[in-house]
Amino acid sequence: MIEQDKTMFADGYHYAIIGTTDDGRVVYSKVMMIEKLVSEDDMTIEEAIEWCEYNVWTAYVGEHTPIYVNDFDADFEELNQYINA
């Protein structure tokens, strides 16, 4: 995590920012994060989700911890079709 003032950022995922909350927390798209790991790090969707769950999404770093939005309500097969479209 990178801290700028009181705002916390997930290192390497600036492209996945979809907004901020009124109290200054950064909001990230989980789908965009998964897409990066699949396309740039040659992970499967399952591996990317598991990696993010363990290393990013469940990390609590204080009251300014970023928010990660599940912005694609689908199973793995639908997500795979979306990413590979």
Q: pTM value?
A: 0.79
Q: Give the range of the structural domain holding residue 9, as residue numbers without chain letter.
A: 2-83
* Tokens matching residue 74: 């689908």
State the total domains in the chain.
1
Identify whether the C-beta of residue 33 lies closer than 8 Å to the C-beta of residue 39. no
How high is the pLDDT of residue 71?
79
Q: Give pLDDT tens digits for 44-76.
A: 988 999 999 999 999 998 889 999 998 776 566
Categorise residue 24: left if φ over 0, alpha if ψ from -120 to 50, beta otherwise: left
Percentage, residues of the chain above pLDDT 70: 79
pLDDT at 57: 94
In this prediction, residue 1 carries a pLDDT of 64
